Amino acid sequence: MRTLAVVLERPGRLALTRLPLCEPTEEDVVVDIQWSGISTGTERLLWSGRMPDFPGMGYPLVPGYESVGVVRSAGRQSGATVGQSVFVPGARCFGDVRGLFGGAASTVVLPGSRTLPLDDEHGQGPACAEQGVLLALAATAHHVSAAGGGRQPDLIVGHGVLGRMVARIAVAMGVTPVVWETDARRREGAQGYAVLDPADDARRDYRSICDVSGDSTLLDTLIGRLAPGGEIVLAGFYDAPLSFGFAPAFIREARIRVAAQWQPNDLAAARALVLSGRLSLDALITHRAAATDADSAYRTAFGDPACLKMVLDWRNCQ
């Protein structure tokens, strides 16, 4: 089998290439991808060449960890059903081409245990199939609080797509956070929370601050806004060293925590929130492009501030 895949050949150079696929085992499924999302965090760093050392790094590589598709074939031990709509968190099935994270392709092979059915036993799923790509972001947002014992942030820094997801989950859990956003164009679209320019916020008693901006220079500012014993959660991806002044952190007995990659239980919890109606995925996908226009789509995703989430349409590429 062969697949059409997005291949980052080197920083700044992307191509749509036919690649051979690994032979599926009895534990594997073959999934025809319908939609894949473009991450403006990790994938932007991969594309720009600014990604810090990371397991699996190197070029050429197939990016993408936000894909949905339909199971074409399923091994007897895969636990999946042919025709099932599933979320795919990436794949490593491209031979000598690295799969980091391997979801931006027309067809992928992966263990059935790594997929997640979009619909529940009653056939209820996201409002539309393309919204399934947002489950990875929802899982990332859920991990922010789950890894911290369930505490929701009362300040979120950044109103991009991840910041909105973190805020929506906080609201679903009964918290009304404040969100900081310096770009006036991104202050619209709040659902149950306030979005402020940081200069207009005088509070200095936040118990939990979640930074999704990826700005490595913000720690001193955020520490100055903490209540005593407060916590800063780093949920962005940072390509430069982080530092902070010790004395203000000492006075507040500040805690700094890194929210790492989401876990399978975060993905299941995010899916449950969506299926229950407590978490809306509406108005987060702002741009769409045919997979054949991938180069232009990636440049728009990384360069247009109006683009919250770009998705590629693979339905005519099988």
For 80-133, the pLDDT digits (tens) are: 999 999 999 999 999 989 877 899 999 999 999 999 999 866 566 676 789 999
Q: How far apart are CA 180 and CA 268, in angstroms?
A: 29
Averaged pLDDT, 166-192: 96
The 3-state secondary structure of 148-166, one letter per residue: CCCCCCCEEECCCHHHHHH
Mean per-residue pLDDT, 225-246: 95
Residue 95 falls in which region: left (phi positive, over 0), alpha (psi -120 to 50) or beta: left
- Residues of the chain with pLDDT > 70: what percent? 97
Mean pLDDT score of the chain, rounded to an integer? 94
Residues 261-280: tens digit of each pLDDT? 899 999 999 999 999 999 99
67 in Cβ contact with 114 (< 8 Å): no
Residue 31 has what pLDDT? Answer: 98
Cβ distance 250 to 225 under 8 Å? no
Residue 4 predicted with pLDDT over 90: yes
What's residue 246's pLDDT?
A: 98
The beta strands (E) that lie in 80-192 are given as 85-88, 98-99, 107-111, 116-117, 155-157, 178-180
Q: Which structural domains are found in the chain, ordered by start? A: 2-136+262-313 (3.90.180.10), 148-258 (3.40.50.720)
Asked if residues 195 and 202 have their Cβ atoms less than 8 Å apart, the reply is: no
Where residue 174 falls (left for φ over 0; alpha for ψ -120 to 50; beta otherwise) is left
Structural tokens at position 97: 């081409």
pTM as predicted = 0.94
Checking phi first, is residue 225 left (phi over 0); if not, alpha (psi -120 to 50) or beta? alpha
Omega prior to 101 cis, within 30 of 0: yes
pLDDT > 90: what percent of the chain?
A: 84
